Amino acid sequence: MEAVQTTEQSAKNTPSFETVWAILQEVAQSQKETARRQEETDRIIKEEAARRQEEIDHIMKETARRQDEAAREKEKTDREMKEYNKRFGEFTRRFGEVVEYMIAPNLVEKFRELGYEFLKCNSGTRVKDFINNIHFEIDVMLENGEKALMVEVKTKLTTENVKDHIERIEKMRKYADLHGDKRSFLGAVASVVMDSNVKEYSLKQGLFVIEPSGESFNITLPNNAPKEW
């Protein structure tokens, strides 16, 4: 009797076919919805990735284009600067020659007024001693039997120009000693444009400073006695 009741009770507790089928359909529908949502998510991610890749490609192409354009512009600028420097260098050289030839003829008289008697004035003196490896050029050189004055002529004088000229005079002293030349050497710098600090530096180094003044030029003596090499 009890076994029959248990069987009947178990039958009552077992879900019906309709209930199980409904549950399975619900699960299937849920899985389909999940799959649909996953597909939608994958599609959105794929589209977003493609869009961003397209943006990156566009940015890279634009960057490459601008780099090419910048390179062409730099090449053009470099070419123009090279041409400008060439022309400016030629202009400066020619202008320096004009200044040199304007100053040279009157230097002897100007230095005579300062008590220096030079008998010769030469422009463009070159020293080429290959045996002793001494090479330099002197823009203007005034000479007599006891002294020689070496003049450096620049359109715009710089401190480096002054240092170079002192080095040039020292080379001249070495060259003279090697060839039995016992004269002493003086130095001077001449320039159309000269900053005050460059002028003061030149004078402190014991050099004469030559500057244009109207149709002529002035010579400023060094702060102390002119230096002799």
pLDDT single digits (tens) 73-82: 888 877 877 7
Average pLDDT score over residue span 149-165: 93
Gap between the Cα atoms of 147 and 229, Å rounded: 10
- Give the pLDDT score at 150: 95
Q: Is residue 91 very low, low, confident or very high in pLDDT (cuts 50, 70, 90)?
A: very low
For the cut 60, the answer to whether the pLDDT of residue 122 exceeds it is yes
- SS3 category, 160: helix
Measured in whole angstroms, how far is the alpha carbon of residue 114 from the centre of its chain? Answer: 44
The chain-wide mean pLDDT, for the chain, equals 83
What are residue 189's DSSP bridge partners? 152, 209
* Bridge partner residues of 121 (DSSP): 142
DSSP H helices in the chain: 2-13, 17-113, 159-178, 196-204
Percent of the chain with pLDDT over 70: 83
The reported pLDDT for the residue numbered 208 is 95
Burial class (CB within 10 angstroms; exposed 0-12, middle 13-18, buried 19+) of 11: exposed
Amino acid 9: pLDDT: 57
What ranges do the domains of the chain cover?
102-220
**Residue pLDDT, tens place only, 171-225:** 999 999 999 999 999 999 998 888 999 999 999 999 999 987 766 788 999 987 8
State mean pLDDT over 24-51. 84
Query: Could you give the CA distance from residue 67 to residue 74 in angstroms, rounded to a whole number?
Result: 10
pTM equals 0.58
Mean pLDDT score, 88-114 = 67
Q: Tokens at residue 63, please?
A: 């960057």
User: Class for domain 102-220, per CATH?
Assistant: alpha beta
